[in-house]
Structure 1
Amino acid sequence: MASQGTTTVSTVKTDDGVNLHVKVLGDDATKRKPLLISLHGAPGLSTHMEPEASFAFLSDTFRVLVYDARGSGISDHIGPYTHDRWIKDIEILRQWAGAETFVLAGASYGAFIALDYAILHGDRLYGLLLRGAWANGKLGPMNALANILTSHKVKVDVARQVRVWSGTLRNDEDYEAAILELLPFYTPPEDESATATTEEKPESTEFKGTVKYHSATQNFAFSVNQPRFDVRDQLHTIKAPTLVVVGRHDNVTPVECSREIADKLPHARLEIFEKSGHSPPSDEPQKFEAVVADWLKADVLPVLK
């Protein structure tokens, strides 16, 4: 374990021997600060660096725990890569951090896992934040693929994109080529980007920190997990105050997907970012921070008092 100012970098071993790379921002020895755990998206591609960039601003008031999920980043690439196993890993990290209850944030694929966690362990949550989600894993990937193939923003290898979204990638190189040709699809239109200053519109953090591609993780997530993922009829059981965030120009998880989730949650607030694509934290960072801070102050922090 190594400390970097108020940031603690650790390797946490799970019950089945897998090592997870973990960072806690705003760490305090007394563990009096409330805990927020943030899940990255894109299995086998994204890392802790995306949620770190998105939620570091909260480290004065929260312990912000971010990590590379098993099968991603520099955590061990040892399965299973099921939602149940990833949920068990969250529980291990919650206990390791010494928190009975916490705020859970999930971005993109991490939002799917966060939804499943909230259904299974809702009593552990006093807040849930979802960014770029859908509730139906059968339709979601197919709609995303359809939007890609009809988009004027990208020219892609059709067969390769089919392999990405069906979880049938040939190898890690196939995964890398698929993502690199797809990057412009995740951003807002050029006219929206042009209205933001350099300070307001930094480089997208969606795949920040990616140095390796792990197609086995992606393949399992989209060939096994997603066809089984459908929480539409269970959303009403999630009682935690929830913030649902989506970009107006998000063609991966479009606004209607977030609206469906928010409409079925008992205590949800839907926030649409008009100048964002799939990543409001980097497309509109100042607004994102303000919206999250306001939601925490109004809906979450009062629960702790």
Structure 2
Amino acid sequence: MTWKQELLNTKRGCFEVFRKGRGEPLCVTHHYSAFNASGDHFADAFTETHEVFLVNMREAGHSERAHEPYQLGFLETVFDLEAVREALGFDSWTFAGHSTGGMIGTVYGIYFSQSLNSLVIVGSAAREFMSGSPQCIYHEEHPDYVRMQELNITLKGSSLPEDERKALTRERISFSLYKPERFPSLFPPHVTKRISATRMDFFNREIQLFDVTRKLHLIDTPTLIVCGRHDVQCPLLYSEEMREGIPGAELVVFDESNHYPFLEEKERFRTVSERFFGKVQRVSEA
């Protein structure tokens, strides 16, 4: 089954949504990814248990543009997701977010737990994560900091030749793999998502002041947190911090993963997530 595109009219504008799978609804997005019909590796991890809705936010793909700069922020992004949910006709759904998508998830849970059946946060943080740990590849003391910055800047360019884009994307992702030599098997070339430069630029400013750790106690939905022990983008300490702040949250650490546990330890991730969803269902039926 392939991802089916839909242009969804909502009260906050038109958003491009891709859907795949069967079951209860589950939403996936990322702060600055631009998805297309080729889908997303993280979203694919849930299509056997849920009907997954992969959402392009403002300035990504064919979704609504940002009419004001503030519309690219975390809170406005969550307001847009709520408009998408309502337009799809769901009283509630699950939200799953990886990396910056997980940061969106924390804000979503804080302000709209009543709209969430559950929340899955993978390799993420509830606050600015770059300056707090030299284990983070975005920290100036990390040995790969300079090269990672160069890659991010270059990949934002729209005129980059496709072969060069693929090579640089591989290099960028390989920094975040526990075993970089596994890249070809973990990231088959059929997924061709891009980066929204406009959203990334806004994120790079907003993240400097982002910190919702003191509001994590307001999240009132079953929450699963997953992190690779060797994560260089959002080091484990940030997942541990979220586990302490979110009431009843479960943290599962993947010992042989970096930033992509849903690929690096795929079968274990599937087992952990299905067990979590099963527990959520049993509690809701009780």
TM-score range, shorter chain: 0.7 to 0.9
Q: Which amino acid aligns with 1:72?
A: A
TM-score using structure 2 length: 0.81
Can you give the 5+ residue segments of structure 2 that lack an aligned partner in the other structure? none
Q: Secondary structure at the match of 1:202?
A: helix
Equivalent position amino acid for 2:130 in 1:
P
1:36 has 2:36 as partner: no
Q: Is contact 1:188–1:276 with CA below 8 Å preserved after alignment?
A: yes
Query: In 2 relative to 1, CA 215–91 (structure 1 residues): closer, same or farther, beyond 3 Å?
Result: same
SS in 1 for 2:244: helix
Residue 280 of structure 1: how far off its partner (Å):
0.9
Corresponding letter in the other structure for 2:109: A
Change (3 A) 1:220 1:290: same
Give, as a single letter, the amino acid of the residue that structure 2 aligns with 1:94.
Answer: R
**Residues 1:39 and 1:172: Cα distance change in structure 2 (over 3 Å):** closer
Unaligned stretches of 5+ residues in structure 1: 28-32
Alignment partner of 2:52 out of 46, 64, 79: 64
Matches within 5 A, 1:9-88: 9-17=5-13, 19-26=14-21, 33-40=23-30, 43-44=32-33, 48-58=39-49, 62-78=50-66, 80-88=71-79
Query: Which of 231, 237, 251 lines up with 1:270 in the alignment?
Result: 251
SS of the residue corresponding to residue 157 of structure 2 reads helix
Between the aligned partners of 2:159 and 2:108, the Cα distance in structure 1 is 27
The 8 Å contact of residues 22 and 66 in structure 1, kept in 2 or not, is answered as yes
Kindly indicate whether the alpha-carbon contact (under 8 Å) linking 1:250 and 1:277 is maintained by their aligned counterparts in 2: yes
Compute the displacement of 1:83 (Å).
1.4
* 2: CA distance, partners of 1:171 / 1:286: 31
* Counterpart among 91, 100, 116 of residue 100 in structure 1: 91
CA distance in 2, matches of 1:172, 1:146: 17
Per-residue displacement from partner, 1:170-194 (whole Å, max 9, x unpaired)?
993299778565322111135xx67
Query: 2:200 is matched with which residue?
Result: 218
TM superposition shift of 1:63? 2.3
Q: CA deviation at 1:44?
A: 4.2
Within-5 A mapping of 1:275-294: 275-294=256-275
- 1:106 is displaced (CA, Å) by 1.0
Shift of 1:104: 1.2
Instruction: Please say if residues 149 and 158 of structure 1, whose CA atoms lie closer than 8 Å, have aligned partners that are also in contact.
Output: no
What aligned pairs does 1:246-265 form with structure 2 within 5 A after superposition? 246-265=227-246
CA contact (8 A) 2:137 2:232 kept: no
Aligned partner of 2:156 among 162, 165, 172: 172
> What TM-score do the two structures reach when normalised by structure 1?
0.77
The CA deviation string for residues 143-169 of structure 1, in whole angstroms up to 9 with x for no partner, is 434557533xx58447647xx5xxxx5
In structure 2, C-alpha distance between the alignment counterparts of 1:21 and 1:36, rounded to whole Å: 16
CA-based RMSD of the aligned residues comes to 3.2
1:302 counterpart residue number: 282
Question: 2:185 maps to what in 1?
Answer: 202
1:170 and 1:22 map into 2 onto residues whose CA distance is: 27
Tell whether the 8 Å contact from 1:44 to 1:71 is kept in structure 2 after alignment.
no
Percent identical among aligned pairs is: 22
Change in Cα spacing, 1:251 to 1:148, as seen in structure 2 (3 Å) is farther
Distance of aligned partners of 1:148 and 1:279 in 2 relative to their CA distance in 1, 3 Å threshold: farther
SS at match of 2:78: helix
Corresponding residue for residue 141 of structure 1: 130
Tell me if the contact between 1:105 and 1:130 (Cα under 8 Å) persists in the aligned partners: yes
CA contact (8 A) 1:189 1:249 kept: no
Instruction: Identify the residue that residue 30 of structure 1 maps to in structure 2.
Output: none
Superposed displacement of residue 14, structure 1: 3.4
